[in-house]
Amino acid sequence: RFSPAAAIRITREVLSALAYAHVKRDFDGQPLKLIHRDVSPSNLMVGYDGSIKLVDFGVAKATDRIHETQSGAVKGKIAYLSPEQARGQKLDRRSDLFSLGIVMWELLTVERLYKHDSDFATMTAIISEAPPPPSSRRSPALPTRPASPPAKCPIRHGAPASSCSSW
């Protein structure tokens, strides 16, 4: 079981890695617009020194540079998809942030957020069900925090993950 402080530290480290990937530029200075597309617990590694690494950019996509290789193919682990991934829609960096939110929820509660009998049921839940607050699943209760970034947080408008560090 992770303490809330440890869960927040892990999440902040991954946010930092995502911010780096999301603003990465090519040799000509053009934004790559990278999206990891598979942010999940199995892709987070803890180093011997306690550092957190986001690994397996194997399904990452530069949104403007690579065409779909398979129409309708789902990339990433089903229980950590964003609603846009589950619908097969165009993705941006917010998809990775949604997936990281699922990871943080699970770190705080030590439960799976989206665990259903089939992939279809899981994707339906991701699209249509609001997750319960982590504090409703953990004792002692977690401090009250916003369930989503504040309305004025730049993340809501597609800004880099690093732009809303106060959340």
54 by Cβ neighbours in 10 Å (0-12 / 13-18 / 19+) ranks as buried
pLDDT at 50: 86
Q: Could you tell me if 160 and 99 are in contact, meaning their C-beta atoms sit under 8 angstroms apart?
A: no
- pLDDT (tens, 9 = 90+) of the chain, 167 residues, equals 778 888 899 999 999 999 999 999 989 999 888 888 899 999 999 899 989 999 987 655 655 544 444 455 666 689 999 999 999 998 899 999 999 999 999 999 999 999 999 999 999 999 999 999 888 887 565 665 555 555 555 554 555 565 555 44
Residue 121 phi/psi, 5° resolution? -65, -35
Q: What is the pTM of this model?
A: 0.78
Note the pLDDT of residue 86.
Answer: 93
The answer to whether 11 and 108 have CB atoms below 8 angstroms apart is no
Strands (E), 57-148: 61-62
Contacts of 165 (CB under 8 A, 6+ apart): 12
Q: Which residues are catalytic?
A: 38
Question: How high is the pLDDT of residue 32?
Answer: 86
Q: Are 82 and 95 in contact (CB under 8 A)?
A: yes
Own/partner long-range contacts of 5-8 (Cβ < 8 Å, ≥24 apart): 6/107, 7/104, 7/107, 7/108, 8/104
Q: What is the pLDDT of residue 121?
A: 96
Closest CA to 100 of 2, 15, 8: 15
Per the omega criterion (within 30 degrees of 0), is the bond before 140 cis? yes
Reduced to 3 states (helix: H, G, I; strand: E, B; else coil), residue 71 is coil
pLDDT at 148: 57
β-pairing verdict for 52-54 and 44-46: antiparallel
| pLDDT the model gives residue 67 | 41
